[in-house]
């Protein structure tokens, strides 16, 4: 009986808890949405600046409308400014990869995952502010400043779950 309880305790220690599973799924959805959004912005702006859109392409019209709106809001929409914005989206799009790695470690309850996740998530939030300014979020993100709140909320929620993590991964 005691041996069976000990084996059950070992098995349950390897299984992720419900909050970790939910946070993992939501974080994965956030990763997919962010990565697709950021990298599509990068490719779209690069295509627009390099004048590679085919005539009549609806995406070209959409970017033209966005660029007019950004210009009204004081964003540098010269070709050099647009290249800077495209580079920003490439950088933050690539930052999604270590964020995903951190989430994977967190899902498997490896404590270092939180540090990777938190540092990269903060970089994801701060690099746009550094490169373009605080107006980045309402102009380029779906929820504006709400995006910042959601990212901070996830860092806090993962931080709360950190107490359930291990310092080193276990094999077996």
Asked whether the beta carbons of 140 and 41 are under 8 A apart, the reply is: yes
> Mean pLDDT for each consecutive 10-residue tract of the chain (172 residues)?
51 67 91 91 92 86 90 90 94 94 89 93 93 83 82 92 67 48
Model-wide pTM > 0.95: no
Provide the pLDDT for residue 155: 93
For residue 114, tell me if it sits in a domain. Answer: yes
For residue 31, tell me if it sits in a domain. Answer: yes
For residue 136, tell me if it sits in a domain. Answer: yes
Question: If 0-12 CB within 10 Å is exposed, 13-18 middle and 19+ buried, where does residue 29 land?
Answer: exposed
* DSSP bridge pairs for 110: 166
Provide the pLDDT for residue 139: 82
For residue 157, tell me if it sits in a domain. Answer: yes
How big is the chain, counted in residues? 172
Provide the pLDDT for residue 13: 52
For residue 79, tell me if it sits in a domain. Answer: yes
Q: How many domains does the chain have?
A: 1
DSSP state, residue 16? P
Provide the pLDDT for residue 86: 94
For residue 12, tell me if it sits in a domain. Answer: no
For residue 56, tell me if it sits in a domain. Answer: yes
How far, in whole angstroms, is CA 86 from its chain's centroid?
A: 16
Asked whether the beta carbons of 79 and 3 are under 8 A apart, the reply is: no
Provide the pLDDT for residue 12: 46
Q: Round to the nearest angstrom and report the end-to-end CA distance of the chain.
A: 23
Q: Which two tokens stand for residue 7?
A: 């084996």
Provide the pLDDT for residue 92: 94
For residue 50, tell me if it sits in a domain. Answer: yes
Range of the domain at 160: 18-164
């Amino acid at each position: 009986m005691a041996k069976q309880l000990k084996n059950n305790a070992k098995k349950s220690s390897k299984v992720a808890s419900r909050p970790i599973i939910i946070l993992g799924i939501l974080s994965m959805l956030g990763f997919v949405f962010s990565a697709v959004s950021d990298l599509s912005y990068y490719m779209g702006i690069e295509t627009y600046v390099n004048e590679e859109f085919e005539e009549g392409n609806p995406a070209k019209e959409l970017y033209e409308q966005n660029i007019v709106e950004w210009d009204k809001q004081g964003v540098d929409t010269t070709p050099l400014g647009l290249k800077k914005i495209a580079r920003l989206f490439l950088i933050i799009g690539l930052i999604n990869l270590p964020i995903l790695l951190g989430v994977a470690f967190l899902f498997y309850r490896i404590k270092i995952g939180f540090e990777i996740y938190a540092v990269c998530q903060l970089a994801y939030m701060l690099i746009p502010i550094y490169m373009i300014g605080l107006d980045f979020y309402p102009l380029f993100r779906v929820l504006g400043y709400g995006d910042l709140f959601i990212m901070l909320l996830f860092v806090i929620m993962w931080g709360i779950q950190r107490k359930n993590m291990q310092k080193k991964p276990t094999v077996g």
